[in-house]
Structure 1
Amino acid sequence: MKQQQSLAALAALLLGQSSLVAAQSTNDDVMLEEVTVTAQRRAERLQDVPVAVTAFTAAEIEARGVGSTRDILPMTPNVTYDESFTVGNSFVSVRGVAQINNADSPVAIVVDGVPQNSQKQLRMELFDVERIEVLKGPQGALYGRNAIGGAINIVTREPTNDFDGWAQLGAGSGNLRSASGAVSGPIVEDKLLFRLSGAYKDSDGTIENVFLHEKVDFYESKDVRARFMILATDALTIDVRGSYSDIDGGAVMDASMDPTLTGNANREVLPRSNILGNSAREIGDATVKIDWRTDVGTLTAITGYTDLTESYYGDLDFCNPVDCPNGIFGLGPQADQRQLLDVTLLSQEVRLASPDNQRLRWIVGGFYLSTQRDLDTIAHLLIPNTPGIPLISNAEENDNDAYSAFAQVDYDITDRTTLGVSLRYDRDRREQTNAGDPTRPTRSKSFSDVQPRVVIDHKLTKDQLVYATYGTGFRSGGFNGVGGRPFAAETLQNYEVGYKSTWWDSRLRLNASVFRSRSEDYQFFYLDFNQGGAQVIDNLDKVEFTGAELEWQVQATRYWTLLGAVGLLDSDIEAIDPSLTVPAERGNRTPKTQKSTFSFGSQLEIPLGSLTGTIRVDYGRWGKKYWHPDNVDVRDPVNMLDLRVSIGNDRWTATAWGRNVLDEFYWQDFNSLEFGAPGVDLGSPSSPDTYGIDLKYNF
């Protein structure tokens, strides 16, 4: 407790020192960094884009110490991000539209213009990144199916025509060791450029299994990326990119709760399984992006190939023979589980975009995605001195083909007013085969939707923009495993107005938006022991979301920057299918919905002769979170505080950091097993406070 109070006092002191520096400074030439984004497939100023976009530049990414997806998304208003169960599992929610098990992502994930078409690709190590853009609200018109909640656009650093690079070493809590770096330059000057980058991370973990007395969240990642830019002519550019990611770590580390403690989603319980779970994920991908600039416009072709595998092994009863001699589910002494996932993705996009410098601008294109997904699920009842008794043995093959065509037109009605109209048609055909039982017929079903978007924006002044948007989103339906019933596609309509402004001689940036969305056949996940412990995706007939977002950034002095964001979200279940077996009521909040997000950051730079010292404080408060449609289990608000102190110059930097220094305990995922089970809950616990140091050298 004393440590937490001391750290909180330190943060307050640092903010107070920042205020003193601000009061003493009279710089007139200080201004915020200009931010350029490609949210609408064109390079535009952030403040000119009529979309709610949170953009993180390379400088901000480094200042925050961003090393993975989990370091950046929770600081975005009305966005939540959690990790659980395997090294490839993540749960992102944007404005209430949530990622769920065994389903498509609610956001489009794009890296260097190439769609990442599996939700298993969102959890990643972030290194050598130039910019991250988080678009909120449905973006289906340009980004397609499954961009129902928004889009995440990640831009890595491009190859350079001059030789340069960087290297970084780090160490921290849980015996963390890390190394990363990049090197770039010309192979043939002005014609063929390269960039090689990589990252390594190894940790023994920080969450203890109280029965085995071992850490359950051990983690090792190895990532490499190679990128080549071929400047064939002034009009033709070819961007070739390949990457490989190999992650091993803990899995099935969920903690089971005693039935007498149910109804409290905030109790602190640690894992107590007698099996130390493990998982592994490998991703190899290759992409080719070709841009050909003509008088008509720029023709872009993007080809992507991904091979992804993930496996895990762990405890099925989430307990041990001492505490639970009959297992928490009453199945017997003990049980285990194993799953093997193999996904192959091939995508092709072709689009033609008009030049930027004309009154009427347009984009037309088409997209194709082929997905082959094989999943084996195995479970055994474990009895001493006997072979395991099979409980589950399912093998399924899924072949999906998705097609789409899209178009967008932007017209400058006046010098200050622009009208944009977009339209996209998506068709997704899904086929599932029971590989373990050839006598069962193959199931197939198609889902399709037309996604329009209309936006009008008006510049009140050169530094103030207002906009109004109507947009739609679509997330495909599918099948609930082998023999499971299908679930419906989800659609969403969104109405939004926004305001973007720059004040105080470009030293203050203030953006705001309010929105109202209506979802039909809202997809959610639960575990149902009336169906033998099945993992089930189901639909809520109608759901409504209402919310608001406010973001600001202030360059108070040359050396002091303040930034923050607030997101407010209200969800309402409006209609429920009478056949739904899960407890839910009209007027309840939707599953995995978080009421509010708040973040605040302060960065103070202190000149020290030829060196610069930097003090960074980031505070976030996440509001109440509702886990299930019955709203019985509710997570209390969470307070997160991160600190960073660094010293260095343009050549080298040394940084000391602390994450979650208040040592907040919370559940990253929480599942009530009350549906047919004896009142047992499972939760995936958060990491405690962690600390470390990093050394970086630029060359």
Structure 2
Amino acid sequence: MKKLLLSILCLTTFFLSAQTTKDIGGTVYDDTGNPLPGATIVEKGNSTNGVTSDFNGEFIITVNEDVKELEISYLGFETQTVQITNDNLSVSLKAEASQLDAVSIEGFASVASKARNRTQAIQTLPETTVAVNAATIEASGIDNIQSFTAQISNVTFTEAQQPGVNFLTVRGISQIRNAESPVAVVIDGMTLPDASAMNMSLYDIELLEFVKGPQGTLYGKNAIAGAVNIITKDPTNKNKTKVMLNAGNGGLFGAGISSSGAFVKNKFYYSINGRYSTFDGLINNTFLGQTVDFSDEVNIRAKLKYRFNPRWSATFVQDNFKIDAGGNYYVTKTDIFNPSIPVLADDDYSSEPFGDILGDSELSNSLSSLKIEGSLKRAKFQSVTSFNATRRYYIGENDYSQYAFSKVSQQSDSDTFSQEFRVTSNSSEDTKLNYTFGTLFQNSKRYLNTSTFLNNTYYQGGFTDASAENADYSTDPLVGNDDDNTIQTLAGFGFVDYKVTDKFTISAGVRVDYDKLTNDSRISDNSIENDITVWQPKFSLAYQFTDNVLAYANYGRGYRSGGFNSDETVKFGRTYEPEFTNNYEIGLKTSFLNNRIIFNNAFYRIDFENQQQYTFIPVTPAVLGIYNFEESEIVGFESEIKFKATNNLDFFASIGFNDGEIKKGTYNRLTNAAAFDYETNEEVDVSGNTSPFTIESTFQIGANANFELAERSTIGFNVNVDSRGTQYWDPLEEYKQDPYTLVNARVNLKLNKFGVTVWANNIFDTQFNTEFFPTAEFGFNNLRFPNTPTTVGIDLSYNF
């Protein structure tokens, strides 16, 4: 009995002692309401008990029950003592008067990265990463992924046919038409499952980063070339509203509003953003006398965040956009029936579209997500549940001429449910071991239909009248693709960093994906199932020679899933193989003159197995398909430098080179297509040729200047030059895009709460092809898709 009483007494004493501490959470802001990551929070009078704020300015500190005050400090701001009035605090720090000598020049502030699912300075991360914060995003006018990639070496983004048909190429690894993206796009921890959604506008962004190299270990399949990590701004206690108007040439007009605040302070927050823009277009159809690149776009994002206590929160996000636009305005030679006119050359920009059909397209995306986050004593837990629905459709020209033969439509839909769990260790400078473990379930249902509508007047009237004025297009189409695809994925992953010494870190991780693919084709009238288990390992070694010099070496295996074609043809089979890469990279990150110069370099080699390529058979209706090259290789180099010349002026430049080669591959070329024979072909060995879509070089250079006019009033200037080298369109190396250069500039004026920005894109009206179809092989003419001409405009904003 005495032992029992003693045990109860001990347990009671332990329980009571455990209740003598409390968790205090909060967020640290600057005096303009922006979060301050890296602020120091310590218990007043006990400097040994302290924490730092995370990327969102948030912190959790455990103190004794009787502690009444915290002390919060941040470099360049006044230290503040805060009363503990509840378990979730909101703290605003005031900037202190600069103690620097007038001639002293501050270096670049460290930009945080979330590439490995925890906050880490870019210069200490053993990955090739480009990250920009909210201030840089606004100053440089980044409003979509395309404008972001224009500032990154060996990365290009173009759009053809219609919104949603994207060609994002990273280190020579390109988007495949009607297939998977080479890059994972992640928004607040949720991966976009459909590549069409990359056309979204970017607004209210806190951090935007591009991580190169295979990122499948943490981001999943189809991150074979990298990942784009987008973190939107969290709502805060402080009520903030911003209204925007913009206008430009081509009938551009837009308006927007963003608002955030708290329903219940320190507990229940909201933010809502809305954008609308309309554009009449700048590219003319000379036959119809109308512009073809018109668009109307609506974007809405709503976010609700609830804090259960300092350690647990839930965030719901609803993100929608819809684009109604022109589409399919390809250009061909001026008269397809005139044999004296040669096929369209790859450098012939003399003609505008002149088809008899005004193309029309739609793209919409709806992303719903619920994120539950918990901060445990030694780790952070995250659950992300999401549902994404994408709809893409167009109808337009099929012969791209003034003659009325046929028109074509394509519908591409996807519905994807995802559930992911992650556990990530709490990290600090003293932590030797950091880790992330997680699991994912995803179910994706997709539909693809391509249909051709014939002109009855021509095809049923003796093949004589192909005039546009007498056209009578059938409402009963010929169907080329009509497929339902289902992809179920179950994955588990883990990644560990171990600091062997203060200077030497080893990282290792692996992801295992089990994919089950099902295809129901109405064209071939059969169903196919396939499954695959894929391991994606990743290893890295990093050595911090000094605080300013980091050397690293990486190996990673990339994976892009295979799939099904609607039918088997002489150019492609009923299925195509998954694409794998083995990636090897070594890099050196350096900074000089107190971070006034940042100079980073990387060398890499990518070995491909089953590199995927797109082609089609031009029967009526056309059948689209994907095939594989057995072996390919890309070797490349990248270099980036930033220089802060003064406190008001900085420069940046980057350069990249790629040498892409098909090591072992064949291409089946049709030899009698002019006689409508789509069976006779020759097998051409393309080994030794350049991989299609591999851009040989990129070069970016630019400058940012910012000057204070008065208190809270500034003027800024930004110039960006984006130069791109040769790119082959086909494995036979018969057609290519010659090098070209784009120049963009903007001037930003801020007058307290007002903002005015004047901008211009493609200032010198450079012409190039965003896509080129070498179709002379098929018995008809080549096609090109034109780029957007010079655009200029003005943006107005007001904050209150």
Q: Comparing 349-358 with 454-463, which one deviates more in the overlay?
A: 349-358
Q: Comparing 599-608 with 428-437, which one deviates more in the overlay?
A: 428-437
Give TM-score scaled by structure 2 length.
0.80
Tell me which of 663, 668, 679 is aligned to 2:770.
668
Contact 1:447 1:476 in 2 (8 A): no
Shift of residue 482 of structure 1? 4.9
Tell me which of 434, 443, 447 is aligned to 2:528.
443
Please name the residue that 2:151 is paired with: 75
1:338 aligns with 2:409: yes
Q: How does 1:30-49 map to 2 (within 5 A)?
A: 30-49=106-125
Tell me which of 751, 755, 765 is aligned to 1:653.
755
1:421 aligns with 2:508: yes
Shift of residue 230 of structure 1? 1.3
Tell me which of 433, 437, 440 is aligned to 1:364.
437
Shift of residue 359 of structure 1? 1.0
User: What's the secondary structure of 2:135's corresponding residue?
Assistant: helix
Q: Which amino acid aligns with 1:265?
A: D
Tell me which of 267, 270, 280 is aligned to 1:191.
267
Contact 1:263 1:633 in 2 (8 A): no
Q: How does 1:264-663 map to 2 (within 5 A)?
A: 264-268=345-349, 269-321=351-403, 333-357=404-428, 358-384=431-457, 388=474, 390-392=477-479, 394-435=481-522, 440-482=525-567, 485-529=574-618, 533-577=622-666, 583=684, 585-610=686-711, 611-663=713-765
Tell me which of 299, 305, 321 is aligned to 1:229.
305
Shift of residue 180 of structure 1? 2.2
Q: Which amino acid aligns with 2:414?
A: V
Q: Comparing 441-450 with 128-137, which one deviates more in the overlay?
A: 441-450
Shift of residue 584 of structure 1? 5.3
Aligned partners of 1:508 and 1:58: how far apart in 2? 21
Residues 180/552 of structure 1: CA separation in 2 closer, same or farther (3 Å cut): farther
Aligned partners of 1:403 and 1:277: how far apart in 2? 40
Please name the residue that 2:89 is paired with: none
Shift of residue 696 of structure 1? 1.6
Q: Comparing 289-298 with 109-118, which one deviates more in the overlay?
A: 289-298
Contact 1:128 1:156 in 2 (8 A): yes
Tell me which of 137, 140, 143 is aligned to 1:64.
140
Contact 1:239 1:288 in 2 (8 A): yes
Q: Which amino acid aligns with 1:427?
A: Y
Q: Comparing 642-651 with 160-169, which one deviates more in the overlay?
A: 642-651
Shift of residue 127 of structure 1? 1.1
Q: Comparing 271-280 with 479-488, which one deviates more in the overlay?
A: 479-488
Shift of residue 531 of structure 1? 9.1
Aligned partners of 1:211 and 1:75: how far apart in 2? 37
Please name the residue that 2:65 is paired with: none
Aligned partners of 1:421 and 1:185: how far apart in 2? 41
Deviation per CA, 1:189-235: give whole Å up to 9, x if none: 11111111121110001111111111110011000001112111111
Shift of residue 46 of structure 1? 0.9
Please name the residue that 2:75 is paired with: none
User: What's the secondary structure of 2:778's corresponding residue?
Assistant: coil
Aligned partners of 1:471 and 1:436: how far apart in 2? 39
User: What's the secondary structure of 1:59's corresponding residue?
Assistant: helix
Shift of residue 161 of structure 1? 1.7
Q: Which amino acid aligns with 2:217?
A: A
Q: Which amino acid aligns with 1:267?
A: D
Q: Comparing 78-87 with 63-72, which one deviates more in the overlay?
A: 63-72
Contact 1:672 1:681 in 2 (8 A): yes
1:210 aligns with 2:292: no
Shift of residue 436 of structure 1? 6.8
Shift of residue 579 of structure 1? 6.8
Please name the residue that 1:18 is paired with: none
Shift of residue 296 of structure 1? 4.1
**Structure 1 unpaired stretches of 5+:** 1-24, 322-332
Shift of residue 111 of structure 1? 0.6
User: What's the secondary structure of 1:121's corresponding residue?
Assistant: helix
Q: Which amino acid aligns with 2:527?
A: T
Q: Which amino acid aligns with 1:381?
A: L
Give TM-score scaled by structure 1 length.
0.91
Aligned partners of 2:649 and 2:639: how far apart in 1? 21
Please name the residue that 2:786 is paired with: 685
Residues 535/677 of structure 1: CA separation in 2 closer, same or farther (3 Å cut): farther
Q: How does 1:144-159 map to 2 (within 5 A)?
A: 144-159=220-235
Q: Which amino acid aligns with 1:468?
A: A
Q: RMSD across aligned C-alpha pairs, in angstroms?
A: 1.9
Deviation per CA, 1:343-369: give whole Å up to 9, x if none: 111001112122213211221111111
Aligned partners of 2:752 and 2:697: how far apart in 1? 38
Contact 1:263 1:632 in 2 (8 A): no
User: What's the secondary structure of 1:62's corresponding residue?
Assistant: helix
Shift of residue 391 of structure 1? 3.2
Q: Which amino acid aligns with 1:406?
A: F
Residues 654/392 of structure 1: CA separation in 2 closer, same or farther (3 Å cut): same
Residues 462/387 of structure 1: CA separation in 2 closer, same or farther (3 Å cut): closer
Contact 2:667 2:685 in 1 (8 A): no
Q: Comparing 440-449 with 36-45, which one deviates more in the overlay?
A: 440-449
Aligned partners of 2:376 and 2:715: how far apart in 1? 48
Contact 2:160 2:770 in 1 (8 A): yes
Aligned partners of 1:436 and 1:633: how far apart in 2? 32
User: What's the secondary structure of 2:137's corresponding residue?
Assistant: helix
Aligned partners of 1:498 and 1:335: how far apart in 2? 53
Deviation per CA, 1:272-301: give whole Å up to 9, x if none: 110000111121121011111222421211
Aligned partners of 1:458 and 1:76: how far apart in 2? 25
Contact 1:528 1:673 in 2 (8 A): no
Q: Comparing 193-202 with 261-270, which one deviates more in the overlay?
A: 261-270
Deviation per CA, 1:539-579: give whole Å up to 9, x if none: 11111111111112222111111112111111011111587
Q: Which has the higher contact order (CA 8 A, sep 6+)?
A: 1
Deviation per CA, 1:618-662: give whole Å up to 9, x if none: 111111111111111111111111121232234222111111011
Contact 1:527 1:673 in 2 (8 A): no
Please name the residue that 1:14 is paired with: none
User: What's the secondary structure of 1:72's corresponding residue?
Assistant: helix
Residues 584/79 of structure 1: CA separation in 2 closer, same or farther (3 Å cut): farther
